[in-house]
Amino acid sequence: MSGTDQAPARHRTGDDAPPGPPVVAPERLVARRRKLTLWQRIKRDKVMLVLMLPGLAYFVVFHYAPLFGYVVAFEDYQPYLGFAQSTWVGMENFAAVFADPAFWQSLVNTLEITALQLVLFFPAPIGLALLLHSIMSSTVRRFVQSVVYLPHFIGWVIIVSIFQQVLGATGAVPNLLDAVGLTRFDAMTTPWFFPFLVTIQSIWKDCGWGTIIFLAALLNIDQELYEAAAVDGAGRWQRLWRITLPGIMPVVILLLILNLGSILSVGFEQIVLQRNAVGPEHGEVLDTYVYFHGIVDGQWGPSAAVGLVKGVVGMALVLGANRLAHLFGQEGVYAGARR
Amino acid sequence: MRAADVRPKWMEPPTRIGLAAKVLALAAIAVLVLYPFVAVLSTSLSSEAEISRHGGLVLFPTSPTLDAYRVIFAGGVVTSALVRSILITAVGTACSLAATVGMAYGLSRRGVVGGRFFLLVALFTMLFSPGVIPNFLVVKQLGLLDTYAALVLPTLISAFNLVVLRSFFMNLPTELYEAARIDGAGDFRVLLRIVLPLSKSVLAVVALFYAVGYWNAFFNAMLYVNDDKWPLAMVLRQFVLQGQSLNDTVSSSETSVPAQAIQMAVVVVSLVPILVVYPFLQRYFTKGVLTGAVKG
C-alpha cells in the first residue's frame, strides 16, 4: 500500500509541460491527486465506493454491530422488552455464571478437548506431510493427496452421520468387535470417550488439509542442503533430523502459537451436534454452553456474559499469540495481508 | 510438487522394509478415509435382511436395491429440503460472489478513498467473532428471523476469500488498467471487461468454496428458521443424529425399507454435490490457499 504517494514520474512533470494534445490522464495517477479534497476524491471514486458498499455494510452489520448486543450481558434481558426496557443489573450475570458449576465444567471440557487436540491432532498433518513428501511418483502422490483433502469439504452433519454409521451402536465397528468376541463399544455415546471421539473426527476431516502448509514449507527447503549432507555421509534419518525438521520448524512454531490463540474455541458445529448424545457433563464446551443456556433456555443475560468473557479472553489470546509469533521472527497472520 | 519424479543421484534407494512400511501406511490411510464412504453407500443400497444379517457391516450388498432412494425422492421432507438446499446454495453463492468481487476490486486498487481503512475493517473481523447471542439479536432486530435471508446474509462474505480475490486482482498487470483508463473506460467497465474475464479460474474457486459452505451449513438454519425452511443438512441432523423416526414424515407405506438405509441414502444425496465439484475445487485450491495464507 506504500505506493499511494508515488505517482509515476512521467506524470510529475505534468504541471510545467507545454500544453500538448489533450491526454485524458488517469486521475488517480496524477501527482496533484493529494490536493483533491475529500469530497472530490469521493466523487472520483464513487463507482468503487458503490461496489464496496454491500461488503462494507455486511461487515458493519454482522461483525461490528453485534458487539453492541453484548449490552445484554449487563441486563436482565427479556426479548419482549428489548434492550432499552430490560432492567440493568450490572455485574450480576457474571456473578451468576461464575457461581454456576456447569460453566466451570464446560470450561474444563473445553480445555480437555483442546489439550487432546494439541497432542494428537496437531502433529498428525506434519507426519502425513512428511510421508506425502517422500513419495517419489507424482501420480501416486497426487492420488493420495486427492483422497486425504476430500473430507475437509464435507460438512459436520454428514461427517457425524458417517461416524454414527461406522462407530455407532448399530454400526460396523461395534459389530466387528462383537464378531471377534470382544465387548461392544459404542464410541458415539460413551461419555468419557467424547474428547477422543471429537479429536478422531477432527483428524479424519482436516489432517489432510493441514498438510498443505507443511508441504509448502518442505518445498521451500533448499534441495542442495540435502545433496551436500548426503555427500558428507548423512543418512536419511540424519537428514530428516538435521535438515527437514529444522527447515519446517518456523512454520510449526507459528501454527502452534496461533493454536494457542484459539484454545477456548473447539469445533462448535461439531460438538453442538453431538453434545446431547453424551450429555452436558462431558459434552458441553464454552460455545455450546452459550448456545444451550442462552438461545435454547432463554437465559440471555448470563450466557451473553459467558460469550463476552470468552470473546475478550479469546481476542487477547489471539493478539498475544500474534505478538509471540513476531518475537519468534514470524510475520504473524495478518501482517502479510496488510501489505 | 517436486520438479521431477526421478530419484536424485545422491539419494540412497529405499530399503525393502521402509518401502513396505510406506506402502502399508498409505494404503491404511486411503482405506480409513474411503471405507466410511463405501459403508454409507452400500448400506443405502441394502435391504432389511441384508443389514441385519451383516450387522451393519455391509461392504458389498449382494442384491442392491434403490428402494431407499425411491422413498426419499417420493416427495415429502427430504425432497423439498433438497430443492431448498439447491436454491439456497445457488442464490447464496451468487450474492456472496458479487459482494466479495465488488469489495475485493475496490480494495485492490491503490489510492481509492478510504481503501486502507476499509481493508482494516474487513481484516479485523478475522480476529474475533461476535458470538452466537449478539448475532442472534442482530438477526432478530433486522426482522430476518424465519426468512431465507437469515441463511445467507450472516455469512455473506468470508474475509479469507476476500483476501484471496484481492491479492489476485492486485497481481493483474497494472498496464491493463492504465490502458483501459486512457481509452476512457470507467472503473465499472474495467471490472466487467478486463478484471473479471482475466479472473475466471479464481472466481470459480471462490464460488465453489462459497457453494460448499452454503451446502454444508446447518447452524444458521438451526438458529434462525423454522422447519419448513430447513435445508437438507438440518433434515439430516434431525433424522440421523436426533434419531427422529423417518416414518413420521416419509410416507409410512414403505415400511419394508429399513430406516438405516433411508438415513444413509440421505447422507449419499448430501454428499453427491460435494463429490461432483471436488475435482474442480481440488485443481485450484492448493494454489488459492497458499496465495491467501502465505502471500496475503
CA distances from B67 to A165, B44, B222, B267 (A): 19, 9, 30, 15
Q: Is the same domain home to A278 and A316? A: yes
Q: What is the pLDDT of residue A331?
A: 56
Same domain assignment for residues A82 and A137: no
Give pLDDT, residue A34: 58
Answer yes or no: do A19 and A151 share one domain: no
Q: Is B60 on the interface with A (CB under 8 A)?
A: no
What CATH number is associated with residue A256? 1.10.3720.10
What is the rounded CA–CA span in Å between residue A277 and residue A282?
Answer: 10
- Contact A41/B270, CB-based, under 8 Å? no
* Beta carbons within 10 angstroms of residue B32's beta carbon: 14
**How far apart are the CA of B49 and the nearest CA of chain A, in angstroms?**
14
Which of A33, A319, A334 lies nearest to residue B111, judging by beta carbons?
A33
Which residues 67-96 in chain B show a CB within 8 A of chain A? none
Secondary structure (3-state) at B112: coil
Same domain flag for A124 and A174: yes
Q: In the CATH hierarchy, which top-level class contains the domain B69-295?
A: mainly alpha
Q: Half-sphere exposure (CA, 13 Å, Cβ side) for A77?
A: 25
**Which chain A residues touch B208 with a CB distance below 8 Å?**
none
Residue A301's H or E segment, with its range, is: helix A300-327
A65 and A106 inside one domain: no
Give the minimum alpha-carbon distance from A67 to chain B in angstroms, rounded to a whole number.
6
Residue of B41, B117, B132 best to disrupt the A interface, most CBs of A under 10 A: B132
> A99 and A241, same structural domain?
yes
pLDDT above 90 for A49: yes
Cα separation, B220 vs B88, in Å, equals 12
| Pairwise CB contact (< 8 Å): A147 & B33 | yes
Confidence of residue A338 (pLDDT cuts 50, 70, 90): very low
- For A100, the grid coordinates are 454456576
**What is the domain partition of chain B in residue ranges?**
16-66, 69-295
Structural domain including A1 reads 1-44
Residue A6 predicted with pLDDT over 70: no
Regarding whether A125 and A73 lie in a shared domain, the answer is: no
Which residues 160-199 of B have a C-beta within 8 angstroms of A? 162-163, 177-178, 181-182, 184, 186-188, 191
Total domains in the fold of chain A: 3
Q: State the average pLDDT for chain B.
A: 84
User: Residue B57: its pLDDT value, please?
Assistant: 60
Q: Is the pLDDT of residue A14 over 70?
A: no
Residue A289 confidence class, pLDDT cut points 50, 70, 90: very high
CA distance A130 to A215: 8
Interface test with A, best of B129, B133, B156, B175 (most A CBs within 10 A): B133
- Give the residue from chain A lying closest to B188, CA to CA: A47
B270 vs A contacts (CB less than 8 Å): 155, 157-158
- Asked if residue A254 and residue A207 are part of one domain, the reply reads yes
Nearest residue in A to B44, CA atom: A165
Looking from the CA of A60 toward its CB, the CA atoms found within 13 Å total 8
Summarised one tens digit per residue, pLDDT across range B254-270 is: 456 777 888 889 999 99
Q: Are A119 and A33 members of one domain?
A: no
Task: Determine the Cα–Cα distance for residues A225 and A205; give it in Å rounded to an integer.
Answer: 34
One domain, residues A134 and A232:
yes
What was the pLDDT predicted at B233? Answer: 92
Contacts of B109 in chain A (CB under 8 A): 28, 48
Which of A141-145, A220-224, B81-85, B263-267 has the highest average model confidence (pLDDT)? B81-85
Q: Counting one residue from A and one from B, how many pairs have CB atoms under 8 Å apart?
A: 304
Residue A264 and residue A201 share a domain: yes
Residues A84 and A99 both lie in one domain = no
ipTM of the complex: 0.87
